[in-house]
Chains A and B, each alone.
Chain A
Amino acid sequence: MNNLPITFIVTALMLALFFFLIRYDRLRATTGHIGFFKRNGGMVGTYLIVGVGFWMLMTFLMPMVFMVDLSFHHKLPPSKVGGPEDVYTLDNYRMFLFGSKTSMDSLNWLHLRSFFMTIGISILLTLLTFAISYPLAYYMAQAARMQVLRLLLLLLIIPYWVNDILRAFAFRIVMAENGFLNTLLQGLGLTGGPIDFLGQNIALYVALCYSHLLIMIFPLYNAIEAQDHNQIEAARDLGAPWWHIHLFVVMPHAKPGIASGMTLTFMLTAGAVATPMVLGGPNSLWFTPIVYDRFYQLFDWPQGAAYAIVLLIACMTFVFGVLKISGLKLGEITK
């Protein structure tokens, strides 16, 4: 139970910062304020505090802080936790970088390659997903008639709620060696023999793109729909070519939607567990199965926590990168 006090202290500090900020805002405010309980009444006020408190502290902050703390520990049997051997260490991160806890001679190419491949491919897939989604989102938002729009929205909703494993399974049936697509291609005489979609990871990439099309489309659609069609007409009347209209009229307006779709798509692609598990070829090296193995194959939780944090840092970097490039605020992309 040694690690819990640190978690409590750090969480309490974050809480203290929050109350300090409230105090600070109040001192700067020009208008008078009403006290929290006076404003809400006793019962509702208590509900608000308990509700937000439980949510933030119990399900989010304390687990996250604890995980960070755990990643700096050794794997120890319960009896030795808190004992003299329970010291802080960078071993778990060293393991990720060098593949060994002691030597720093060679890099851990297996895991590093997997990590960078995952991030790189996720970025490419995010861009591809955007390229596929954008025309449809634009068509639905600005060009489609009402009835067509209703139908398209309905058709989009259906696969949206089908879960990841079933999507991946469907792709396995379609793209297996003796599956539907190969039968079809050979039947049409387009290919001589079966193509190994699974072994080459093609099925994995296609399914990852497929799974997140809708995550991309809905924010895009909402953002483009908010634009006044007259602006596009005006640009056209002034003689702007079509790509000019999209690049300089529609996209700047839809920036929050684009940023929001891209962030979510990237996060879900890089963090996908089910799809690589079902569709990954023998040489597939998605990062999440490696994290999973730390946990439930090696049972080395501290190391698993360290690997999860590496993934978390990559995702946060992407989010803040997108915010920086687009010049948006967090609140604008999470609508």
Chain B
Amino acid sequence: MNQQKINSALVGIYLVVFFIFLLGPLLVMAVSAFNTPNYPQVWPIEGVTLDWFRELLHDQEMLEGLRTSVIIGISVSILSVAMGLAGALVMTQLFGTSRAYYYFLVVAPVLIPGIVLGIATVVFWRDFTGLLGLRSLLYNGTVLTILAQSSFVSSYCMLIILARLQRFDMSQEEAALDLGASYPQVFRDVLLPYLRPAILSSMMLGFLTSFENYNATTFAILADKTLTTVLASRVRMGSSPTISALATVIVVLTIIAALMFEWVKRREQTRQWKLQKDAQASDQLETA
């Protein structure tokens, strides 16, 4: 019994230390955003102010960065879900060696450092757009960043969609075909509704990943600016409470987005669980 008490005390201490380490720095940063000294300072608190947040609102560069980030985020999430969905569907139609080869290629972007993908995108598209004669149209930071991020965000989307696709009951598709549905109809009316939760959550994941990405973006963005690259150049210039204020805003927004993401996922899980229970119940009825 005593041993058990010691054990649970140890677990308790571990948890507390772990979460202080995890959340402490963010908390410290948030506090420094409300403190008056113009160097981010936590202690002593010399006065509570909202000036740093007000300053943020008039910062044109950051607002522009925010706009670009949102544009890129939305494009990446749409593009990546479209490509990741196609990737997952093709995967289910391949077997044997071609499947292994294909799998290696579509998963590789996840295992490659972001800076390598960013560099590859920039060097290839500089010449490729030149060849197409579209350099003025396509060779800009926003387009390149969308392309560079899509290559690995699509892999994430594909893995999420594939996980759900593997639980798909193929007999549903066959039943629809037997009942006279055409292939496009099956895709639209059977497969897509089934995949909807996975598509939704991979879309949100895509946006969040794109929004917070820096490694690939810093190479691909060229002369444009996203919120993260503006932030990076500010941080490099020196610490200021404005950055703390921005960080606090971003952290709060992130938390809201993350909670929404969790909420969507959890709702889907409960629904799934309920369906399963219903199915089990009806199975039991049948056998009874």
Q: Let me know if A157 and B262 touch, CB within 8 A.
A: yes
Docked complex Cα distance between A136 and B10 (Å): 12
Docked complex Cα distance between A311 and B118 (Å): 13
Docked complex Cα distance between A118 and B278 (Å): 54
Interface centre among B112, B187, B251, B259 (most CB of A within 10 A): B112
Docked complex Cα distance between A60 and B111 (Å): 12
- A-B CB pair tally, cutoff 8 Å: 276
Docked complex Cα distance between A315 and B114 (Å): 12
Distance of A95 from chain B, by nearest CB (Å): 16
Docked complex Cα distance between A39 and B90 (Å): 11
Q: Let me know if A56 and B25 touch, CB within 8 A.
A: no
Q: Let me know if A331 and B258 touch, CB within 8 A.
A: no
Which residues in A have their C-beta under 8 angstroms from that of B182? 41
Q: Let me know if A48 and B28 touch, CB within 8 A.
A: no
Q: Let me know if A139 and B15 touch, CB within 8 A.
A: yes
Docked complex Cα distance between A132 and B21 (Å): 11
Q: Which B106-150 residues have C-beta < 8 A from chain A?
A: 106-117, 119-121, 123-125, 127-128, 130-131, 147-148, 150
Q: Let me know if A210 and B25 touch, CB within 8 A.
A: yes
Q: Let me know if B83 and A51 touch, CB within 8 A.
A: yes
Say whether B77 faces chain A, with CB atoms less than 8 Å apart.
Answer: no
Quick one: closest B residue to A1, CB to CB?
B131
Distance of A188 from chain B, by nearest CB (Å): 13
Interface centre among B104, B182, B258 (most CB of A within 10 A): B258
Docked complex Cα distance between A271 and B115 (Å): 7
Interface centre among B99, B105, B131 (most CB of A within 10 A): B105
**Which range holds the interface residue count of chain A?**
35 or more
Docked complex Cα distance between A51 and B78 (Å): 12
Docked complex Cα distance between A40 and B40 (Å): 59
Partner of B119, one of A304, A319, A331: A304
Docked complex Cα distance between A194 and B236 (Å): 22
Q: Which A30-74 residues have C-beta < 8 A from chain B?
A: 36, 38-44, 47-48, 50-52, 54-56, 58-64, 66-67, 70
Total number of B residues with any Cβ neighbor in A under 8 Å: 95
Quick one: closest B residue to A2, CB to CB?
B127
Distance of B11 from chain A, by nearest CB (Å): 6
Segment touching A, from B56-64, B194-202, B242-250? B242-250
Which residues in A have their C-beta under 8 angstroms from that of B105? 56, 60-61
Say whether B103 faces chain A, with CB atoms less than 8 Å apart.
Answer: yes
Say whether A249 faces chain B, with CB atoms less than 8 Å apart.
Answer: no
Interface centre among A40, A44, A161, A272 (most CB of B within 10 A): A161
Say whether B66 faces chain A, with CB atoms less than 8 Å apart.
Answer: no
With contacts A44-B184, A70-B123, A273-B215 taken as known, whether A58 is within 8 angstroms of B147 at the C-beta atoms is yes
Q: Let me know if B120 and A64 touch, CB within 8 A.
A: yes
Partner of A4, one of B82, B127, B231: B127
Say whether A160 faces chain B, with CB atoms less than 8 Å apart.
Answer: yes
Q: Let me know if A63 and B212 touch, CB within 8 A.
A: no
Which residues in A have their C-beta under 8 angstroms from that of B259? 154, 157
Q: A21-B97, A210-B22, A272-B215 known; 14 other A-B pairs, CB under 8 Å?
A: A3-B127, A4-B131, A21-B96, A52-B106, A58-B147, A59-B148, A66-B127, A170-B28, A173-B25, A174-B29, A176-B239, A264-B111, A271-B215, A334-B159
Interface residues of A (CB under 8 A from B): 1, 3-4, 7, 17-18, 21-22, 24-25, 28-29, 36, 38-44, 47-48, 50-52, 54-56, 58-64, 66-67, 70, 132, 135-136, 139, 143, 152-174, 176, 179-180, 183-184, 210, 213, 263-264, 267-268, 270-274, 277-278, 288, 291-292, 295, 301, 304-305, 308-309, 311-312, 315-316, 319, 330-331, 334-335
